[in-house]
Amino acid sequence: MARRSCFLLLLSLHIALLLLIPCYCQVGNSCSSARDCGVGLYCGDCAAAGRKQPSCIRDLAIQPTSVVKGLPFNRYSWLVTHNSFSIVGEPSRTGVERVTFYNQEDTVTNQLRNGVRGLMLDMYDFGGDVWLCHSLQGKCYNFTAFEPAIDTLKEVEAFLSENPTEIVTIFIEDYVHSPMGLSKLFTAADLMKYWYPISEMPTSGQDWPSVTDMAAKNHRLLVFTSDASKEASEGIAYQWSYLLENESGDPGIEPGSCPNRKESQPLNARSASLILQNYFPTMPVQSEACKENSVGLPQMVQTCYAAAGNRIPNFIALNFYMRSDGGGVFDVQDRINGLTLCGCNSIAACQAGAPAGACKNTGAPNTGAPNRTTSSSSINGNVISGTIEFKSPASRISSTSTWRNFVVSLSLVLILMAF
């Protein structure tokens, strides 16, 4: 009887230890819930890429300016969400059931907290206000409308207020025709205090100010419009005077091809110092996004890098940004920033003040840093020469998982000793 009581006590201890110690699996490891995965990861699936069971997937970016500081804004690469406002499950605000497609899965606030630093917003005159909306022939309807634009802009204001060194860029697909409509909107959202003025935007391909200077001046909100007339009338920068951009939709994801958007100058032009790379299909499909972001995106980054005359994308725009077969856009962004800023295979391996190529062995979980293979690679400012190959990260076992295995083994030994 005493032995049975001892067994039950040890079994209870064993179960308690298992419950108290989380697994903290790494990128690509199998999981059953978010609790199994480490910080910056969630438990998701990617059947489109052949995954037969859920695994840990990245959902958090490493901000490059937190590692390599003080460089010109155009030296970094940033994550952008396409149609940031078009969120799955967002309730109708018009009283009419919405009939449209969706591009994202979480709020703009969460997007920013997860590392997104660029928002694509479609703005229309609707109901006597400016709304975020999908359109039919350039008009917003009650069954394609999402919400008043000021609601999303207030989320941006709250984020900038809480994070005094962060910089956010907004790209407006602009269908607002009401007089001074956008100026009134940004003023009402209390965002003008962060406004980056056109007068200080570099032209002819020069470097932008450093991110440190931009933060010091509180010039932490860049706004671009697709309407050329707004530059003179409202002081809002016309997008294609300052950026180069590849084609959006299906033409922008065609393997081996990276044509420029018709409004943009060729990607290899040196008249602008910022490059926006679109990578999303014309019709978004949630279940396919994980494969697109894991397989297609790395290949297309390399294609567009070559088309741009060996220049990196400063902005990468995509749908369902967290969906991937492991690291997705976060790994790609880490790779680009690492190679560009310090000559390492990931921004996580960069060391402040160290010469290019002096990389630390991070051994860090959740960075998802893939291996690098280059051919005649060299670092020259923000230009990388050579061939960049993006590979999927190998799964790693964390020290926490090792400790958990030890506890399990020890508990089993103790139970056996009871007999």
- Report the interhelical angle of 149-162 vs 181-188 (nearest 10°): 50
The predicted pLDDT at position 135 comes to: 87
Q: Is the pTM of this model over 0.75?
A: yes
The predicted pLDDT at position 278 comes to: 98
The predicted pLDDT at position 356 comes to: 87
The predicted pLDDT at position 201 comes to: 97
The predicted pLDDT at position 14 comes to: 56
Distant-in-sequence, close-in-space partners of 187: CB < 8 Å, separation ≥ 6: none
- Report the interhelical angle of 328-341 vs 297-307 (nearest 10°): 40
Domains along the chain with CATH numbers: 58-395 (3.20.20.190)
Q: Does residue 385 contact residue 3 with C-beta atoms inside 8 Å? A: no
- Report the candidate in 87, 77, 131, 132 with the shortest Cα–Cα distance to residue 109: 87
Counting residues of the chain whose pLDDT is more than 70, the rounded percentage is 81
The predicted pLDDT at position 396 comes to: 33
The predicted pLDDT at position 24 comes to: 63
Amino acid in position 4: R
**Averaged pLDDT in 10-residue chunks for the chain of 419 residues:** 60 54 76 91 94 94 94 98 97 95 97 98 97 90 97 98 98 97 98 97 95 98 98 97 97 96 96 97 96 96 96 98 96 96 94 88 47 28 34 36 47 50
The rounded distance, in Å, linking the Cα atoms of 101 and 98 is 9
The predicted pLDDT at position 244 comes to: 98
The predicted pLDDT at position 20 comes to: 54
Instruction: Using the structure block, give the residue that is written with the tokens 């940031």.
Output: 84
